[in-house]
Amino acid sequence: MADSEVKMKNMTEGNPTKLIFMFALPLLFGNVLQQLYNMVDSIVVGQYVGKTALAAVGTGFPIIFMVSAMFMGIGMGGTVMVSQYLGAGDREKIRSTIGTIYTAMIVGVVPLTIFGLFASGPLLRLMQVPADTFGMAETYMKIIFIGLVGSLGYNVNAGILQGLGDSKTSLMFLAIACVMNIFLDLLFVTQFNMGVAGVAWATIIAQFCSWIFGLFYINKKYPELKVNPFSFHFKVDLFKQAMRLGIPAGIQQMMFSFGVMALQSLVNSHGSDFMAGFNAANKIDVFAFMPLQSFSTSITTYVGQNIGANRMDRVKEGVNATLKMSIAFSIVAGIILVVFGEWCLMLFTNDPAVIQAGLAYTYRIAPFYCLLAVMFILNGVMRGAGAVMIPTVSSLVSLWLARIPSAYLLSHFFGRDNLNFCFGIGWAVGVCIAVPVYLSGKWKNMSIVKKDTAFLDDL
């Protein structure tokens, strides 16, 4: 076996708690970097161009995310496939899966980019973007769509590496892209006076570089995989499998974006103070649930490899360990937010009304983080096993049939502050769906590899 193959992270042997924690740690740092990366453009244009430019950058992001969500979902399907084929020791299927996913991305990004260029204006009009912001928002979106291949390429590389058990390398490339983006933002905006166009070009250049760096790294460390984005190595059966695993995740992300917009509309109806407090607390809340998101991604790869290796005993052990860690982190995060919430909010504003609105959010959401932890982890388990529809149904039902309706009802009958209880209600419904399915064990039979394959004793 080649030396590069030995370096693939084998999660079918060793202490599950340590394996999962060490895999989740780089993902956590990556999530933090990703959040900071997304904030850089807004900070630079807000400080050096003005509030109209700041609004323009923020307006375009949800549309860009929704348009690319489906392809990102297929990349997530590729992660599950790579992890299970790695667990089964099927190197040829790993190579074919990577070639198929890359071919789908390269071919698919062309119509997606064209659609983005022509649809940016109409979509912004549909969102009723004000005239003073419209021009800059359209410019930002069109440039981002021109460089969409870099963003999708980075996500495909990250999915491949995570499937191989490597969560550290993507963090390194994300860090490089983040530093490059900050440097180019400041250069294009402060020195070349390019405004919103400057931050857009900085973003796509940084993303493109992180994609290319990732390609070189994968081919150097895993030469037997031979990743060539233009080889057009495509297998219909593998693509169908990636679609089956990935489309539910893509739909889930798209519908989640719509749900966020619906909830934001309700929040905005209660005035600028409440809106500002909600948004500020939400930014803090993002950092609180990042560990849960990282553990969920980690258990997906762990379960994929061990199911592929037919090690169901290790699956159960890993799930129990991850639930304990996630619940512990959620309790700690909740306590920190309740105790230090006011000081955290003061990083954004000193306005008492805004801080009070932010605390109304924090105090009503923090006690329910444990529910979110259980839902995230069990959904990650079933996604890694190939039972992708259950996480999708769980997430969408908890959002559209529980969180959003309850938010409007709570706001109407119990006042604006209490609408924040809708998060806990939504997570509780999600848990009520995920737990019975997990306990039934039906998800164990959704593997894409045969159960009689031996686990990797040569890694």
Alpha-carbon torsion, ordered 99, 70, 275, 35, to 10 deg: 0
168 and 292 share a domain?
no
What is the phi-psi region of residue 89: left when phi exceeds 0, alpha when psi lies from -120 to 50, beta otherwise? Answer: left
Residue that is written with structure tokens 């990083």 in the block = 347
- Tens digit of pLDDT at every position of the chain (459 positions): 344 443 456 778 889 999 999 888 887 887 777 777 666 776 677 677 766 666 667 666 667 777 777 677 777 777 778 887 887 778 888 888 888 888 888 888 899 899 989 988 888 777 666 777 788 889 988 999 999 999 888 888 888 887 887 877 877 888 888 889 889 989 998 899 898 899 899 999 998 998 999 899 988 888 887 788 777 788 888 888 877 777 777 777 777 767 776 786 787 678 767 877 787 787 788 778 888 888 998 998 898 888 888 888 899 899 999 999 999 999 999 999 999 988 888 876 677 888 898 899 999 999 999 999 999 999 999 988 888 788 888 888 998 999 999 999 999 999 999 999 999 999 999 999 999 999 988 888 777 665 433 333 333
Reduced to 3 states (helix: H, G, I; strand: E, B; else coil), residue 235 is coil
Task: Domain count for the chain, please give it.
Answer: 2
Q: Which domain holds residue 445?
A: 269-451
Single-letter amino acid, residue 196: V
Contact 385, 434 (CB under 8 A): no
Q: Could you give the CA distance from residue 85 to residue 373 in angstroms, rounded to a whole number? A: 28
Closest CA to 399 of 229, 199, 289, 257: 257
Residue 27 lies in a domain: yes
Rg (the chain; Cα; Å): 22
Residue that is written with structure tokens 């090690």 in the block = 311
Residue 136: what pLDDT?
87
84 and 199 share a domain?
yes
Give the C-alpha distances (Å, rounded to integers) separating 117 from 30, 139, 145, 303. 29, 10, 7, 40
Residue 156: what pLDDT?
87
- Tell whether the torsion through CA atoms of 139, 140, 141 and 147 is positive or negative: positive
308 and 386 share a domain?
yes
210 and 307 share a domain?
no
Residue that is written with structure tokens 């609408």 in the block = 419
Q: Could you give the CA distance from residue 344 to residue 362 in angstroms, rounded to a whole number? A: 11
CA atoms within a 13 Å half-sphere pointing along the CA-CB vector of 170: 28
Residue 452: what pLDDT?
39
273 and 154 share a domain?
no
Residue 434 lies in a domain: yes
Residue 261 lies in a domain: no
Please state the length of the chain.
459
Residue 252 lies in a domain: no
Residue 1: what pLDDT?
35
Q: Look up the pTM and report it.
A: 0.70
Q: Could you give the CA distance from residue 340 to residue 420 in angstroms, rounded to a whole number? A: 19
328 and 184 share a domain?
no
52 and 126 share a domain?
yes
Q: Give the residue from 188, 211, 244 where a domain finishes.
A: 244
89-121 per-position pLDDT tens digit: 788 888 888 888 888 888 888 998 999 899 888
Contact 51, 39 (CB under 8 A): no
Residue 60: what pLDDT?
67
Residue 305 lies in a domain: yes
Q: Could you give the CA distance from residue 218 to residue 239 in angstroms, rounded to a whole number? A: 21
172 and 291 share a domain?
no
Residue 395 lies in a domain: yes
Residue 379: what pLDDT?
92
Residue 94: what pLDDT?
86
Residue 1 lies in a domain: no
- In sequence order, what E strands does 42-201 have? none
Residue 198: what pLDDT?
92
Residue 455: what pLDDT?
34
Residue 427 lies in a domain: yes
186 and 286 share a domain?
no
Contact 8, 459 (CB under 8 A): yes
236 and 312 share a domain?
no
29 and 174 share a domain?
yes
At residue 285's C-alpha, the angle toward residues 343 and 126, to 5°, is 120
287 and 229 share a domain?
no
